[in-house]
């Protein structure tokens, strides 16, 4: 209230917490003359160029397209981002905060519902099913490795994979997914209005996987990653390989917070 140039970030785990904070602080802000805004995930904002049935905007995947989109002036997401960058108090989901550049650094940051920070471990954990390898990455070398793991699974519920073998697999997987991302982006640039929803959904999944894999691979504590192959069904036909999935689990998630600037932090429990 004393310094209009200061910024306060309120980081919450779920949308309902965002709505609660925003409702309370808007009334308080009007009374004490400061601005409040919230920023949610991309799917919360209507895209004017996407037809009914999908709200996955092309600009989410292609920076070039984002710069040339004819509907930029009517974009609700851009409007929300401009609004939050001008505000004194900024309310964000933890993961939106992680990926969105707010330009001005906060002088004070609140982690609301701190007990939910433990849930970050499950969010960082990554699971790779066989269809990701065959239908999305489309890498024959990875398919062979995955089939070998399924044969090794046998009647076991799971087995551990050596760290070096696991790191090699996910590094190769990220490279294959990056190539697939480039293929879809090229197709979008050629005919952005002719893209079907299935292709957009595939691209959304590809980008999520690349982001998740990059977080694990580039994690300073990646030596603490655990790799194991886990059965996905209880009953199996003896003539068919048991289905399984690759699970990557970091033991140390402290690296998530290493990117945060050293500022004042207030943590709330309830």
pLDDT 10s digits, 173-222: 999 999 998 888 888 777 766 667 777 788 888 988 998 898 888 876 66
User: Residues near 128 by Cβ (< 8 Å), separated by ≥ 6?
Assistant: 170, 173, 209, 245, 246, 247, 248
Average pLDDT over the chain reads 79
d(CA 217, CA 215): 6
Q: Where are the domains of the chain?
A: 8-112, 121-254
Give the mean pLDDT of 157-182: 92
Phi, psi of 198 (to 5 degrees): -65, -40
**pLDDT level of residue 166 (50, 70, 90 thresholds):** very high
Among candidates 90, 103, 106, which has minimal Cα distance to 12?
90
d(CA 213, CA 227): 13
- Tokens for 184, please give them: 């879809």
Using one digit for the tens of pLDDT, what is the confidence trace for 99-133? 666 767 778 888 887 776 666 666 667 889 988 99
- Residue 92, strand partner residues: 11, 39
Helices within 154-243 (DSSP H only)? 163-190, 197-217
Angle at Cα 221 formed by Cα 253 and Cα 248, nearest 5°?
Answer: 65
Are the CB atoms for 247 and 220 separated by under 8 Å?
A: no
Decide yes or no: CATH 3.40.50 for domain 8-112. yes
């Amino acid at each position: 209230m004393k310094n209009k140039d200061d910024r306060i970030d309120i980081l919450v785990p779920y949308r309902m917490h965002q709505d609660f904070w925003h409702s309370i602080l808007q009334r308080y802000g009007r009374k004490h003359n400061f601005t409040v805004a919230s920023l949610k995930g991309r799917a919360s904002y209507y895209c004017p160029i996407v037809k009914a049935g999908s709200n996955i905007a092309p600009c989410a995947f292609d920076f070039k397209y984002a710069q040339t989109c004819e509907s930029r002036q009517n974009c609700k997401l851009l409007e929300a981002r401009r609004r939050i960058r001008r505000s004194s108090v900024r309310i964000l989901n933890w993961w939106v905060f992680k990926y969105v550049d707010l330009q001005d650094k906060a002088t004070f940051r609140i982690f609301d519902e701190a007990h939910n920070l433990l849930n970050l471990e499950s969010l960082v954990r990554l699971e790779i099913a066989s269809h990701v390898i065959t239908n999305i990455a489309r890498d024959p070398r990875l398919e062979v490795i995955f089939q070998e793991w399924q044969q090794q699974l046998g009647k076991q519920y799971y087995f551990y994979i050596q760290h070096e073998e696991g790191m090699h697999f996910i590094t190769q997987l990220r490279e294959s997914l990056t190539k697939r991302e480039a293929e879809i982006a090229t197709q979008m640039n050629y005919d952005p209005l002719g893209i079907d929803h299935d292709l957009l959904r595939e691209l959304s999944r590809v980008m999520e996987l690349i982001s998740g894999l990059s977080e694990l691979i580039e994690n300073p504590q990646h030596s603490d990653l655990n790799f194991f192959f886990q059965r996905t069904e209880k009953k199996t036909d003896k003539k068919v390989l048991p289905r399984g999935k690759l699970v990557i689990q970091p033991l140390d998630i402290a690296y998530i917070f290493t990117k945060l600037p050293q500022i004042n932090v207030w943590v709330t429990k309830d």
